[in-house]
Amino acid sequence: EVELVESGGGLVQPGGSLRLSCAVSGFTFSGSWLAWVRQAPGQGLEWLANINQDGSVKNYVASVKGRFTISRDNAKNSLYLQMSSLKSEDTAVYFCTRDRAAGTHDYWGQGTLVTVSS
Amino acid sequence: QSVLTQPPSVSGAPGQRVTISCTGSSSNIGASDHVHWYQQVPGTAPKLLIYEIINRPSGVPDRFSGSKSGTSASLAITGLQAEDEADYYCQSHDISLNAYVFGSGTKVTVL
């Protein structure tokens, strides 16, 4: 059974940092592109970043480039999102996903809520 | 403001056919066969519904179908059922933004 379990969300002050983790099981982690997608309260989905199988290729949406860093540890079957200089508009549920090919997100975690507020 | 525009809502009676449009541009839908659709029941994670314009993952009923024409894509639901009540999102890659983009989302209501 495929499982993606995000953790690390919570309340953080504007300008602060947070690291999200995603523990994966049930498919070949080291053979898969992975991605982060977020959803602000009551809003739509926003693709944030993806990373290739060995971590050598990373892509970001403009709104988080330079502030967020996606990474992975194939030995631990884990995906990460380091977030810094957080703003109130970063408040959202953050999902980790598998990108099967060309943006086809076939597996999703349940999401972790990040709230940026003073 | 999403670069892919969807109607905020569509509705239909059980058994009817509804369609959801996704309007993009030559930088995204018009330039790619990588157009996907997701279904999201509020409070849960999105579920892949259609990939590469027309393909259904295993387990998705054939009541759901996708198509594309020029810079727009569409999702059709035939034989609408109560369980189809959810939010639906289209997705494509935008070559100008060099990023994947989602549509604004459409809420389907079964009357």
- Position A102 scores a pLDDT of 85
Specify the amino acid at residue B44: T
- Position A111 scores a pLDDT of 98
What are the pLDDT tens digits along chain B (111 aa)? Answer: 789 999 999 999 999 999 999 999 999 999 999 999 999 999 999 999 999 999 999 999 999 999 999 999 999 999 999 999 999 999 999 999 999 999 999 999 999
- Position B2 scores a pLDDT of 87
Binary contact (B38, A95; C-beta < 8 A)? no
Query: What is the mean pLDDT of the segment spanning A23-34?
Result: 97
Contact (Cβ atoms closer than 8 angstroms) between residue B101 and residue B36: no
Binary contact (B101, A47; C-beta < 8 A)? yes
The shortest C-alpha distance from A110 to chain B (Å) reads: 6
Using a pLDDT cut of 70, give the percent of chain B over it: 100
User: Is residue A20 scored above 90 in pLDDT?
Assistant: yes
Dihedral sign (CA A23, A27, A28, A32): negative
- Position B87 scores a pLDDT of 98
Rounded CA separation A63/A56 (Å): 21
In tens, the pLDDT along A36-91 reads: 999 999 999 999 999 999 999 999 999 999 999 999 999 999 999 999 999 999 99
Rounded CA separation A75/A97 (Å): 18
The shortest C-alpha distance from B27 to chain A (Å) reads: 15
**Helix, strand or coil for residue A113?**
strand
Which chain A residues touch B89 with a CB distance below 8 Å? 44-45
In tens, the pLDDT along A79-101 reads: 999 999 999 999 999 999 999 98
The shortest C-alpha distance from A43 to chain B (Å) reads: 8
Q: How many CB atoms lie within 10 A of CB B28?
A: 26
Dihedral sign (CA A39, A45, A49, A53): positive
Strands B9-12 and B106-110: parallel
Binary contact (B99, A59; C-beta < 8 A)? yes
Owner of token pair 């892919």: B4
